[in-house]
Amino acid sequence: MRYHKLGSSEIEASVLALGTWVTGGGVIWGAKPDDSESVRVIQEALDSGINFVDTAPAYGFGHSEEVVGKAITGRRDKVIVATKCGLWWHDNRGSDNGVFDGRAWRKSLRPDTIRIEIEDSLRRLKTDYIDLYQTHWPAVEPEKTPIADTMECLVDLQKQGKIRCIGACNLSMPEIQEYGEYAPLVSHQLRYSMLWRGAEAQMLPCCEENNIATLTYMSLEQGLLTGKIRMDRVFKSEEFRSVESWNPWMPPKNRQRVLNLLDGWSDLLDKYGCTQAQLTVAWTLAQRGVTHLLAGARTLPQLRENLKGADLVLEPGDLARMRRDIEALGEPEPGE
């Protein structure tokens, strides 16, 4: 396993981080996860060189953090724990964010809700400090808490020893610049994959130039880029994969194009002795500005497959060929 520092911090984090969104469960994931299997996945990840686990209160409304807390009991000093704040479901503070997984929630980066969230996360994770504390989404109108107020709160929590480093997720270019005016931002978690490359234009170069670690999520596109979601797969309407605004390549008309792309790399799978998931992980980690990749795992075989991808190094010519193929794919066709 390779390791990179989280931005300007001294924290050495594995380039492959274990994401635990699926660990929280909920109807959006279809089948209910097995908590005992989730604990085994986290513990084997730690045994295999991953030292970086990312979670959030919003993942299962606290359930993911509870499972992570159980899994790391007795080995807390060996784990870099990242969690988040800013998605709020307890009362009407913050701005409406619709309904997700059957429950109404809101975006809130108010200092008073953050201080409640940090205590809840510490309790669920069974720890007295968080290594990387991230704002999950920027605040929005009508209750758009000024970044200065949010950062003042986070810096105070840092001074208290409750968090070691401050990170953020899903920021725009102006937002990431403003965050940095108040305190060092060591990481930015953002969506990035072969099929979702908007961050290449400005965000990834900006993070690289400013020594901000990047944690890419949905880099396997909910399993589509593993090649295992074939044309016969049908999703329930409540599953997250069926939300076309988030997963525009999942509908059959676009999915076939992606599968054709992946099938065209069969010689690369033979050359490197790898699976499509491993090839995808390796390609993503090789891109400019990408320092860490988040990948979830519901089962031990999924974890083991992802692990091998983190150690795979692709030749420059193969990286360039894959990019040409990806760019030739174009954009997904809009829904009907």
Active site residues: 59
Cα–Cα distance list, 78 to 72, 127, 136, 163, 182 (Å): 9, 13, 24, 16, 30
Q: Token pair of 263, please?
A: 């099938």
DSSP of 126-181, one letter per residue? T-S-EEEEEESS---TTS---HHHHHHHHHHHHHTTSEEEEEEES--HHHHHHHTT
Q: Is 260 helix (H, G, I), strand (E, B) or coil?
A: helix
User: By the 8 A CB rule, do 333 and 254 touch?
Assistant: yes
User: By the 8 A CB rule, do 83 and 133 touch?
Assistant: yes
Distance CA 336, CA 324 (A): 28
User: By the 8 A CB rule, do 197 and 177 touch?
Assistant: no
